[in-house]
Structure 1
């Protein structure tokens, strides 16, 4: 890395990195959970899971919305010495850093099926959908401003939380052609 440069990861990619693992962990946990009769019965478990799914989608998609907007408004332009991280590297780093949390969430969702069948899995799946919606919102912000939003890599990590958590002091922007991910964090076609 050049002197004074920073490693930068796309904010939308970091948000989107957790969506697929949460979705699939939730789907598998709910599928297995339906097979367990549970204390409340399958019908009540699935209905409670549907409510939890919707609540998780809304809460995760709306969480820290003002913080993201404030960071984007105050964004500075990335310098020539800054190093832009590839999408695949960002996703791999996020998933490695959060693999234990994903495993624990999957185990908790399966364990909750003994009380409310499928409810825990549907909650996890809802969190994954909420992250997809949040990444999509970031993509629309990027398209409207014709610039991509980046966050410093050293401010990210399993303990730092979201890419708009307390350790993140500011974000940087580049032109829309930078990086290898489309607006919203998806693979560029």
Structure 2
């Protein structure tokens, strides 16, 4: 992909992020400030459900804002890094952003100290539930950024020997000498010795 195309998509991602933030502010203002002042009885109708409406708006628009911010980071990284590295960063940012959004909404809905406790509890639950996946994703990000091995290298890693076919966020794919593919989790790759027998071209 050419630099001009990447720059164009970068501008589009920035515009998308700004658009979602502005839309959230406008819709929030419309529902909670403008409509109650112009439509008689709207405030009384909205009041029992205002927390739910606020949470729904925050979750919906928040997800789109997180997604747009992750895409912006992706296209910024694409200016200097390959797709695999930028995609890994985008995935990690999306996971972290959605987790932070859920904790913030939970904290805001519960209010005060209860909100902080609830947000912390949700963070712990999500952390324990995704510990293995996040560990692999962070290890994959490390492998993609540091690049101890590259596609085309003939390596021996985690007891497997062959040519590196691909390095993704979660796995490093090696084609063994007999033609079979070995998918090595990146957290194993980071935690083991890597023998580069021959560098690829």
Q: Indicate the structure (1 or 2) with the bigger Cα radius of gyration.
A: 2
Q: Same fold (TM over 0.5)?
A: no
Question: More helix by proportion, 1 or 2?
Answer: 2
TM-score by length of 1: 0.30
Which has the bigger relative contact order, CA under 8 A and spacing at least 6? 1
TM-score by length of 2: 0.29
